[in-house]
Chain A
Amino acid sequence: MKNYDLVIIGGGAAGMSAALGAYEKGIKDILIIERDVEYGGILEQCIHNGFGLHTFNEELSGPAYAQRCYELIKDTTVEFLYETVVTEIKDDMTLSLSSEKGYDHIKAKAIVMATGCKERSAGAIALQGKRCQGVYTAGCAQKYLNMNGYMVGKKVFILGSGDIGLIMARRMSLEGAKVIGVAELMPYSNGLARNIKQCLEDFNIPLYLSHTVTAVHGTPRLKSITLAEVDGNRQPIESTKQEIECDCLLLSIGLIPENNLLEDLKVELDPRTKGAVVNDQLMTSHEGIFACGNALHVHDLVDFVSMEAKKAGANAADYILNKTVHKHEIKSIPANGIGYMVPQYTSKDQDVEFAFRVRNIYKKANIRVSGGELDKKIYKLSLVPSEMVKVTLTKEELLKAGDTLTWEVVE
């Protein structure tokens, strides 16, 4: 059985950045395992631009961003293993690999999970109606269009204002489809402001806030949908129901971190993020296994994925070289207005950057973090659920905290 210092599962932005982080800290024996035929992950089908403003100070397409990440490690000793799927991680850090070459095992001193995320499906929201052809997750339609060159519809409606949905509204319009509208259940958009502008407004595509698709009609192919406004409890208002003709419904209703392997290993997952529970090293409840990127929590910018993954890689290096394991000294509790907190646990050994999302739109509000002797307020001009918030607490501040930190939005 082959041994590696560090095995990284996933060769997208997170995986490559984690490799860079570990390599720069002195780990040379690194293997990246990628299921696809080459590096890049989901970036490969994201042919629009807008990637890399923070990391490379440039606006790149998805494949170009992946190329940049690759170039940073291509002349190093980092190895890639393509067209290979990890089917199991055993408790002793053995990984089972399946590929056309065979069924194999390798052993790692540390593992970084950079497996990305998957899309919530029509089934997950119990979409009413028949199981007709023409209902797709936005990312799946994106793959069909950008990788295979095929359109899954000509008259398109989109449910959910997540970024992939917005990007696909523009993309399908450019390819000649009529995009009728985008419905968002919440009273605010779930996508980035720039995408609302560039993908909807510039193409005169209406955004229906506080609206949802209550049913799909047609067989065997989608013929129409029912659109309805929702009340304050997000329940459809009967009198507002209208039928809209379309042959394609795209869903952009959320992403779920991919954690099959960690689930099988009984690693603790956070029901809020659906990713692993981690400490300030981004180490999971299994010693030596780290998580980062969209596998840990869903990010809105790939730049932030890279930054977080680089840290995870560096921490994995520190663990390999020094057996560093930070204690769970403080538990972070997301309270009023906060959706989740990553990391969930921290030590008091170093400054820690926390990442989280708010659950509503706030103008001129404070993030309050309190516990023990610490009571800190961070003023924010604007807070929106679609944009991840980052707050750093210094080691000194953490030393003042008790064994919990409560995070909340105070207006």
Chain B
Amino acid sequence: MEDVIIVGAGVTGCLIAHNLSKKECKVTVIDKNPDVANGASGSNSAIVHSGHDPKSGTNKCKFNLLGNRMYPDLCKELKIAYKEIGAFVVATSPEEEKTLDGLIQNCIDRDVPYEVLTGEEARSEEPNLSDDVTKALSLPSTGIVTPWEVCIAAMEEAVDNGTTLKLNEEVKAIEKKDDRFIVTTDKGVYESKYLVDAAGVYADKIAGMVGIEKYHITARRGEYYILDHKNQFVEKIIYPVPSDKGKGVLAVPTIHGNVLLGPNAEFVEDKEDNETTAALPGLRKDLGKTLKNIPFQHIIHTYAGLRPTGDTHDFVIEEDDKVKNFIHVSCIESPGLASSPAIAKYVCEELIKENYPLKKEYKRRKPHIIMNELSDDEKAEMIKKDKDYGKIICRCERISLGEIKDVIHRSCGAVSINGVKKRCRPGMGTCQGGFCEPQILEILASELGVDRSTICKNGPGSEIFVNPAKEDL
């Protein structure tokens, strides 16, 4: 029997597991997807917001403020990149300036670092801001992370310290019997004392399995463009002033030098409806209000994410009032990524009331070797130690064989083309894997010791090959 079962391997699920893995506590994480961070945690704006924006008194506000402050140390602990690049919220009209004043008051009340700039002052720092920008709120404590990297690193360390991760496994039923939860999946049956519902857009469905009908979650789709990494035309995150629809359409530099443009927002009925649509080009008009010289000709990819938007209008982070030990970590839309470390801490310290002792020994994950970031001498030294780090597989992003093998052999490691792409980036460049995918497939097959026909783009059913050539003739 487990102490805790977590349903959902998104950013909150992974960070809760990571937190619990430091204690003498048996944890299993179950996710129906083939990899961690395959839902909203893998497709969002990748921002650690400062906390200037959520309504006072909400969970969103409380956890965002705390989470923002936790991120630098968390990323140091997980040995992943965090960059505090700052953000501008820009106004282009007297009404928008009024909204901006409200945000400034929030910063004062919440102790969020800020600075107010005129349009000219803002443009001198960000020359590609629109000429219509009249006033800007600078938020220097705003940061960026690679969202799936947070999940992967946290889960890797958790698994290294005893957490069980079940991927490609869908929870079909949950029963509360005496003091335990009996969780039935399409592959097995598990029991636990606590059940953490961190199932993203499906959190309402999971809660419904034990008869809880507290909230209803609708997927709200957001679509994005990604620009090639040589076109970082902004250095900070650029937000328009928020509206009742949310934070608006943003320009967000990423850790690796790309720029994300988006999102739009549309409620969709199907919780899997992460299609990009004909609405995507509409982003261009919105972006044109706050920015100029946008290098749309360097778009290399588009994607859509699904926000788990609850009818609660706020995060639900609490033990259920009827079903004891059922913990809701639900309705986590923006600022979910920013809030997640604080949510995980709260869940592990306040909601899972058991006093599990800390583990005496805790294994820390090894940092990745990123050849691109090494000096010439360090590169030479590294290749001398392991020749695989000299063999470049991804020509656009210059990723070596050594880096790819490393992410295949770690706990919570890559087993698919997308898994490798998320963990060390081959395929994230201009050619989008056109050149390196056939090589990645060979590397996966040989490192995992499986037949190449079993290698998938993502999960089961997405095998790369339909059949060897000529076999059907």
Contacts and interface: CB of A to CB of B under 8 A. Distances in A.
Q: Do A and B come from one complex?
A: yes
B437 A153 contact: no
Given A151-B469, A220-B457, A220-B461, A263 B230 contact: yes
A172 to B, nearest CB: 9
A121 B435 CA distance: 11
B470 A152 contact: no
A238 B280 CA distance: 17
A26 to B, nearest CB: 33
Given A96-B376, A123-B299, A128-B277, A149 B432 contact: no
Contacts of A85: 392, 395, 398
Nearest to B435: A118
**What secondary structure prevails in chain A residues at the interface with B?**
mixed
A90 to B, nearest CB: 10
Interface string B415-455: 00000000000000011111101100010000000001100
Pick from B226, B276, B300, B379 the residue with the most CB of A within 10 Å. Answer: B276
B312 interface: no
B167 interface: no
Nearest to B274: A130
Contacts of B275: 128-130, 215
Pick from A96, A145, A148 the residue with the most CB of B within 10 Å. Answer: A148
A133 interface: yes
B461 to A, nearest CB: 4
Interface string A186-227: 000000000000000000000000000011000111000000
Contacts of B276: 126-129
Interface string A393-410: 000000000000000000
Contacts of B398: 85, 87, 98
Given A98-B400, A126-B225, A149 B469 contact: yes
Interface stretch (A99-107, A279-287, A316-324): A99-107
A35 interface: yes
B119 interface: no
Contacts of B462: 132-133, 220-221
A118 B436 CA distance: 11
Interface string A227-256: 000000000000000000001100000001
Nearest to A100: B387
B463 A133 contact: yes
A126 B396 contact: no
B459 interface: yes
Contact of A151 (B277, B383, B438, B466): B466
A154 B432 contact: no
Interface string A262-305: 01000000010000000000000000000000000000000000
Given A98-B390, A150-B465, A152-B464, A35 B272 contact: no
A154 B467 contact: yes
Interface string A71-105: 00000000000010101000000001011111111
A151 B465 contact: yes
Contact of A98 (B299, B383, B442, B464): B383
Contacts of A258: 395
A75 to B, nearest CB: 30
Pick from B230, B376, B456 the residue with the most CB of A within 10 Å. Answer: B376
A145 to B, nearest CB: 6
A144 B438 contact: yes
A221 B460 CA distance: 10
B105 to A, nearest CB: 39
Contacts of B301: 121, 123
Contacts of B473: 175-176
B175 to A, nearest CB: 30
A152 B371 CA distance: 32
A140 interface: yes
B55 interface: no
Given A85-B392, A124-B299, A153-B466, A118 B280 contact: no
A89 B108 CA distance: 50
A131 B398 CA distance: 24
A355 interface: no
B430 A99 contact: no
B384 interface: yes
A87 B225 CA distance: 28
Contacts of B461: 133, 220-221
A140 B417 CA distance: 14
Given A121-B431, A133-B458, A151-B465, A126 B280 contact: yes
A152 B466 contact: yes
A175 B468 CA distance: 10
Contacts of B409: none
A220 B383 contact: no
A123 B302 contact: yes
B458 A220 contact: yes
Contacts of B437: 140
Interface in A375-400: none
Contact of A100 (B281, B391, B430): B391
A151 B467 contact: yes
B96 interface: no
Nearest to B381: A103
B390 A100 contact: yes
Given A98-B383, A103-B383, A119 B431 contact: yes
Contacts of A83: 391
A87 B387 contact: no
A140 B434 CA distance: 5
A122 interface: yes
Contacts of A53: none
13 contacts: A83-B391, A98-B391, A100-B390, A101-B383, A102-B383, A103-B382, A124-B432, A128-B275, A133-B463, A147-B438, A150-B467, A152-B465, A219-B272
Pairs A-B, 9 closest by C-beta atoms: A123-B301, A133-B462, A121-B432, A220-B462, A100-B387, A103-B380, A103-B379, A133-B457, A85-B392
Given A154-B466, A260-B396, 9 more contacts: A98-B379, A103-B390, A105-B376, A133-B463, A140-B435, A144-B464, A148-B442, A154-B472, A220-B458
